[in-house]
Amino acid sequence: MGKRPEWLDNAVFYEIYPQSFMDTDGDGIGNINGITEKLPYIKELGCNALWINPCFDSPFGDAGYDVSDYYKVAPRYGTNDDIVKMFEEAHKLGIHVLLDLVPGHTSWDHPWFKESMKAERNEYTDRYIWTDSIWEEPKGYGSLRGISDRDGSCLVNFFSHQPALNYGFYKPERPWQQAMDAEGPMATRKAMMDVIRFWLSKGCDGFRVDMAGSLVKNDEDSKGTIALWQDVRNFLDKEYPNAAFVSEWGEPDKSLQAGFHMDFLLHFGPSHYNDLFRCGKPYFGGEGDASEFVKKYLESYEKSERKGLICIPSGNHDMERLAYYIHDDRLKIAFAFLLSMPGAPYIYYGDEIGMRYIEGLTSKEGGYSRTGARSPMQWDDSVNAGFSSAPANDLYIPIDPDAKRPTVKKQITDDNSLFSEVKKLISVRQSHKALQNLGDIEFISDGANGKPLAYIRSFDGEKILVAINPADNPAEIKTDCNIVEQIYKFGEDPEIKKDSIVLKGKAVVFALI
């Protein structure tokens, strides 16, 4: 891991899906100026960092994750000048901004790919991964075939319109599989460094990197991909040492070794993240089991040398809303967990007011089942919930039709609202370094079979007990911690015994020990 920007130590991120946050020009799609306009709101909540989903030019077959020009803000969002102004206004408020970098693939509309499709050899022939023959499809991957005069099949990532960029193969096994240090893969690496350099020079503070662990193919134990990112890290340390890099990798031992500052906990794979928030009986729904999550979390924590730089999001654009499975006071309890764990927490726009997952929507821009988590931000009780002045039929995605939908206006002045509780929790976190991103963690209760979650956060001599019981019934936690002062509570006061604490149902306590 390279030098860490100091601002990351207490960063609390707010994730913005730009299409759906705020529309200032009445076309039904959110834009950069809308983000700029709402920066004071983000500051009011207490977030001091942003992650903005892809805002580069794109045909939007995958909501912007299919880039056609890395150097240009998509016109529907505004201009490069607009985003530079947004960086400047955010910095005035003490807010840092990460853009979303998609290094693994582009759109098939990208000029690089159009050149790569040509039969005659050129600068971009090896920018993507092509087999030698149209009759050979890359095993284990999807491909584009029969689309141009060039002989060969082109490997794709996920959707068929996302051709995979060529960073080489850790162990080439076929003639068309190039080594990592071959001319083509090295040119791709340089091109991506140029993109990074461009936006950092414009005032961006760093990047969240999409699927960072997937670049090098046939990559045993990610050794090649780690080496690639270490090269990028060396470049950053020389030219932009304060640039933050957060990876979507899901394996912090690898991503931190690769030079990333923090790693996202993924909602797929072995993390057991969904056990907490999104399953038939989620732990924070009051009936589930958190023990497998704790077990896997500690395994990753130890592998990453107890750095704890594992980011846990409230949700994101790829999953159902937090409020789909968890309701009422338990949403506040879930945020007590999210805002007391190590690593930078991420709040998906609208989760702080309990926005709902909208079922039954027609897929928009490759959203499919994810579309219902991408509906417009609900600001107030005016037309389109204050998101846009456009006719309802022109909105990017329909507004939640429920007349009782939560809004910022309803909650921001209500001391008992979810918004106010999240704001309070962020304030408590920022007042105690033990609760911030670098504080150590030691679990004393793992949430098995509906039992409480309890852990001790510590940093530089400060120790804080966090005890959380989302279940209806009281529960006892065995501990000999000497409570000095409660710094936060939700629900009824706990009963303090000599060698245990009894938490009431649906209750939380943070206490100095």
- Segment 418-432 shows an average pLDDT of 98
Using DSSP's 3-state secondary structure scheme, residue 339 falls into: coil
pLDDT band at 307 (very low <50, low <70, confident <90, very high): confident
Q: Judge whether 172 lies within some domain.
A: no
Burial code of 136-173, b = ≥16 C-beta within 10 A, e = fewer? bbbeeebbbeeebebebbbbbbbeebbbbbbbbbbeee
Based on the fold, state whether residues 282 and 362 are members of the same structural domain. yes
Residue 4: predicted pLDDT: 85
Q: Judge whether 412 lies within some domain.
A: yes
Helices (H) and strands (E) in the chain, counts: 12, 20
Quick check: 429 pLDDT over 60? Answer: yes
Based on the fold, state whether residues 348 and 412 are members of the same structural domain. yes
- Cα separation, 224 vs 234, whole angstroms: 16
> And the tokens for 6?
């100091």
Quick check: 362 pLDDT over 70? Answer: yes
Indicate the residue among 428, 451, 467 that finishes a domain.
428
Based on the fold, state whether residues 330 and 199 are members of the same structural domain. yes
Q: Are 434 and 457 in contact (CB under 8 A)?
A: yes
Residues in contact with 511: Cβ distance below 8 Å, sequence separation at least 6, in sequence order = 464, 465, 467, 481, 483, 484, 485, 486, 487
Q: Judge whether 191 lies within some domain.
A: yes
Based on the fold, state whether residues 200 and 249 are members of the same structural domain. yes
Q: Judge whether 178 lies within some domain.
A: no
**CATH code of the domain covering residue 119:** 3.90.400.10
Based on the fold, state whether residues 219 and 327 are members of the same structural domain. yes
Based on the fold, state whether residues 272 and 405 are members of the same structural domain. yes
User: Strand 346-348 vs strand 13-16: parallel, antiparallel, or unpaired?
Assistant: parallel
Q: Are 147 and 121 in contact (CB under 8 A)?
A: no
Cβ burial of 486 (10 Å; 0-12, 13-18, 19+) is middle
Indicate the residue among 376, 406, 428 that finishes a domain.
428
**CATH code of the domain covering residue 459:** 2.60.40.1180
With pLDDT > 70 as the criterion, what percentage of the chain qualifies? Answer: 100
Residue 1: predicted pLDDT: 56
Q: Judge whether 279 lies within some domain.
A: yes
Based on the fold, state whether residues 353 and 218 are members of the same structural domain. yes
Which tens digit of pLDDT belongs to each residue from 463-500?
Answer: 999 999 999 999 999 998 899 999 999 999 999 988 89
pLDDT band at 2 (very low <50, low <70, confident <90, very high): low
Residue whose pair of structure tokens reads 């071959």 in the numeric block: 182
Determine the Cα angle at 192 with ends 187 and 193, to 5°: 95
- Cα separation, 56 vs 16, whole angstroms: 14
**Which long-range CB contacts under 8 A does 380-388 form with residues at least 24 apart?**
380/407, 380/408, 380/409, 381/407, 381/409, 381/410, 387/20, 387/21, 387/22, 387/23, 387/30, 388/23, 388/26, 388/27, 388/28, 388/29, 388/30
DSSP secondary structure of 82-119? HHHHHHHHHHHTT-EEEEEE--SB--TTSHHHHHHTSS
Q: Judge whether 285 lies within some domain.
A: yes
Q: Judge whether 399 lies within some domain.
A: yes
Which tens digit of pLDDT belongs to each residue from 314-336?
Answer: 999 999 999 999 999 999 999 99
pTM listed for this prediction: 0.97
Which is more confident, 3 or 86? 86
Based on the fold, state whether residues 361 and 393 are members of the same structural domain. yes
Q: What is the dihedral of CA 297, 300, 303, 307, to 10 degrees?
A: -70
Indicate the residue among 365, 396, 428 that finishes a domain.
428
Q: Judge whether 472 lies within some domain.
A: yes
Based on the fold, state whether residues 62 and 85 are members of the same structural domain. yes
**CATH code of the domain covering residue 321:** 3.20.20.80
Based on the fold, state whether residues 92 and 234 are members of the same structural domain. yes
Structural domain count, the chain: 3
What domain range includes position 490?
441-512
- Cα separation, 486 vs 488, whole angstroms: 6
Based on the fold, state whether residues 198 and 311 are members of the same structural domain. yes
Residue whose pair of structure tokens reads 């991408």 in the numeric block: 374
- Cα separation, 12 vs 297, whole angstroms: 20
Neighbours of 438 (CB within 10 A): 17
Based on the fold, state whether residues 112 and 245 are members of the same structural domain. no
